[in-house]
């Protein structure tokens, strides 16, 4: 955390979508231009040695060093410096509608202005490194914030992030928001599948019918994976994992089992990964919809379960708000449990 810019969690971003839908909040987006070059040192002095062809010396032959006012692009601390600059502006420099940083999510800032308005004026701002998104219930106040932000930082407003962000396609409607990963999944299909997705037989589930048997067979051959297969398998499974926590929680279990075999992949498991990809490709427009019109929309509900495995069980769970999943997990437990109660 001392050198990197934090990125917003999928669960936090989806929770913002749900809250925005429930409270009829307007959405806007912005992109920070060359964000890592906009970070400013404010609490310390940093010196750097000049490149060889730019070095200068004083009359004693002592080399001059540079005093950095901003981070060098690609430097080890440029990401963190950008985040600190942005957070400092939000919490200290912005005085008209000052923001508070969320304790659980350092990439989400909230401004609440108590006044005569009912409900109070509220702005939620979340950033993924240099991609920002806001939810507000007062256009004039939020637009004023954008004006002040653009005067302090170089940003591009409403540059397309409203309908696509972090690999997610976003559809907006009156009282609802739908997120899905159609663009990302179709690009994966073009890269990994031998034929167009429409030429494959229908696949009804993300898990291969013999997924666990294939995993157990691969576990026995641990350490005998050819390097070419290992690279190919890791690349495919890593690509499958990316959309699962965000928009495809239905594929979390299958992708999680496949990911456990990263160090002992087999051709059969690779085919099982292709099977999962075909399922995702055939349902590429499937996603999560948040709506304020569903029953008990403001009720936050969480479910959890376990597969009661003979070894380490797999815990699965999802949380729901506004009729859609705001977080989902499928994770191998860290211990062997002695009862179904303990496993769940």
Whether this prediction's pTM lies above 0.85 is answered by yes
Dist CA 332 CA 309 (whole Å): 10
Half-sphere exposure of 191 (CA within 13 A, CB side): 12
Look at residue 5 and tell me whether its pLDDT is greater than 90: no
Dist CA 257 CA 253 (whole Å): 6
Q: What is the DSSP letter of 137?
A: S
- Using CA atoms, how far residue 232 sits from 83, 221, 255, 290, in Å, is 35, 18, 15, 36
- Going by C-alpha positions, the residue among 109, 140, 128, 281 that lies closest to residue 206 is 281
Structure tokens given for 129: 């490194």
Structure tokens given for 126: 């979340």
pLDDT band at 310 (very low <50, low <70, confident <90, very high): low
pLDDT value, residue 77: 83
pLDDT, tens digit (0-9, with 9 covering 90-100), for 106-121: 999 999 987 666 788 9
Question: Mean pLDDT over residues 173-183, rounded?
Answer: 95
pLDDT value, residue 174: 92
- pLDDT, greater one: 305 or 63: 63
Q: Is 212 helix (H, G, I), strand (E, B) or coil?
A: helix
Q: At what angle do helices 252-259 and 211-220 cross, to 10 degrees?
A: 10
What's the CA dihedral at 158, 149, 125, 100 to 10 degrees?
Answer: 180
pLDDT, tens digit (0-9, with 9 covering 90-100), for 234-250: 999 999 999 999 999 99
Dist CA 107 CA 132 (whole Å): 9
pLDDT value, residue 340: 60
Q: Considering the chain, what is the average pLDDT of its residues?
A: 90
Dist CA 132 CA 35 (whole Å): 11
Dihedral pair phi/psi, residue 7, rounded to 5°? -115, 140
């Amino acid at each position: 955390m001392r050198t990197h810019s934090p990125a917003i969690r999928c669960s936090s971003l989806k929770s913002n979508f749900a809250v925005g839908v429930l409270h009829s909040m307007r959405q806007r987006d912005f992109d920070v231009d060359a964000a890592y070059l906009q970070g400013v040192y404010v609490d310390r002095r940093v010196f750097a040695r000049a490149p060889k062809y730019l070095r200068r010396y004083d009359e004693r032959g002592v080399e001059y060093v540079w005093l950095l006012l901003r981070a060098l692009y690609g430097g080890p601390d440029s990401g963190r410096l950008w985040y600190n600059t942005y957070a400092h502006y939000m919490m200290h420099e912005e005085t008209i509608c000052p923001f508070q940083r969320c304790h659980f999510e350092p990439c989400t800032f909230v401004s609440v202005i108590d006044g005569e308005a009912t409900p109070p004026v509220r702005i939620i701002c979340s950033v993924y490194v240099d991609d920002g998104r806001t939810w507000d219930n007062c256009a004039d106040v939020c637009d004023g914030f954008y004006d002040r932000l653009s005067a302090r930082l170089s940003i591009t407003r409403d540059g397309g992030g409203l309908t696509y962000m972090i690999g997610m396609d976003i559809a907006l409607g009156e009282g609802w928001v739908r997120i899905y990963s159609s663009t990302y999944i179709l690009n994966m299909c073009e890269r990994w599948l031998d034929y167009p997705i429409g030429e494959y037989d229908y696949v009804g589930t993300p898990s291969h019918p013999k997924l666990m048997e294939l995993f157990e067979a691969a576990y026995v051959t641990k350490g005998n994976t050819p390097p070419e297969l290992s690279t190919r398998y890791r690349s495919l499974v890593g690509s499958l994992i990316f959309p699962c926590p965000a928009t495809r929680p239905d594929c979390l279990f299958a992708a999680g089992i496949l990911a456990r075999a990263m160090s002992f992949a087999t051709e059969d498991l690779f085919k099982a990964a292709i099977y999962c990809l075909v399922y995702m490709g055939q349902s590429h427009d499937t996603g999560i919809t948040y709506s304020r019109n569903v029953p008990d929309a403001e009720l936050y509900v969480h479910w959890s379960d376990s597969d009661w495995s003979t070894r380490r069980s797999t815990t699965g769970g999802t949380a729901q708000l506004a009729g859609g999943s705001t977080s989902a997990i499928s994770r191998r437990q860290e211990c062997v449990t002695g009862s179904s109660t303990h496993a769940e």
